[in-house]
A and B are shown apart, each in its own frame.
Chain A
Amino acid sequence: AQSVTQLDSHVSVSEGTPVLLRCNYSSSYSPSLFWYVQHPNKGLQLLLKYTSAATLVKGINGFEAEFKKSETSFHLTKPSAHMSDAAEYFCVVSYTGGGNKLTFGTGTQLKVEL
């Protein structure tokens, strides 16, 4: 069985300050991990993915995430938040042999304030 836990349902930061969205995973197999972003009334967009290559993954819009097997974590970070980053973020896990099924976390709503 696989699952992801997003530790914060809401995160609020000031524009220009760092962003940290936390995610822990559980998987019986070597996982693939993803971060997707969902803006209001728009489809989900892939930010980045980890598939057993480099543990530090760089994504779009300045986001990156680090896979830490010892901590079963895949936290999403960005050095400096922008107003346009305000959205819902989902941590997602899948595994090879799982039919490419994705298991979504409950999501973290990121609010960026002036």
Chain B
Amino acid sequence: GAVVSQHPSWVICKSGTSVKIECRSLDFQATTMFWYRQFPKQSLMLMATSNEGSKATYEQGVEKDKFLINHASLTLSTLTVTSAHPEDSSFYICSAHDRTITDTQYFGPGTRLTVL
């Protein structure tokens, strides 16, 4: 089946620093990737849609200058949390849409971010 990886799987950083999270589709090309945030024991909330070769589309209430998204290739999207603060601590999950074969979104294993 289609595989999506995320790196790192967990990261701890100091308040005020920036953290970059990578999302890769390993065996298919994805023109569209999605970034979600999941708080403990809660559902996934869509943050933004990452479009290859164009600007990301952010959901209402998500600060685009805070959460920078780059989708430079058909297999890689990155999410950079800038000037992180403790309230940004969360589980970040990406998904990649396989449009050509299965027309299904495949999810990465997630990245646990802890901001001290």
Task: Give the contacts of A24-38 with B (CB-CB under 8 A).
Answer: 36
Q: CB-CB contacts of A80-114 with B at 8 A, as 1s and 0s? A: 00000000001000000001111111110000000
Q: Does A56 interact with chain B (Cβ within 8 Å)?
A: no
A43 touching B43, Cβ below 8 Å: no
Number of A-B residue pairs, CB cutoff 8 Å, is: 44
Assess the A49–B44 pair: CB atoms within 8 A: no
Asked whether A101 lies within 8 Å of B34 as measured between CB atoms, the reply is yes
Encode B85-113 as 1/0 by CB contact (under 8 A) with A. Answer: 00000000101010100011111111000
Listed A/B pairs (11) with beta-carbon separation below 8 Å: A43-B93, A43-B110, A44-B93, A45-B107, A46-B106, A90-B44, A100-B97, A102-B46, A102-B95, A106-B43, A107-B43
In the complex, which of the residues B42, B46, B103 contacts A101, with contact meaning CB atoms closer than 8 Å? B46
Alpha-carbon distance between A49 and B105 when the two chains are bound, in angstroms: 11
Interface pair B4/A43, CB less than 8 Å apart:
yes
CB neighbours of B99 from chain A (8 A): 100
| B→A interface (CB under 8 Å) | 4, 32, 34, 42-46, 49, 57, 93, 95, 97, 99, 103-110
B10 to chain A, nearest CB (A): 10
CB <8 Å contact, B107 and A36: yes
**B49, A99: Cβ atoms closer than 8 Å:** yes
Give the CA-CA distance A92 to B27 in the complex, in Å: 24
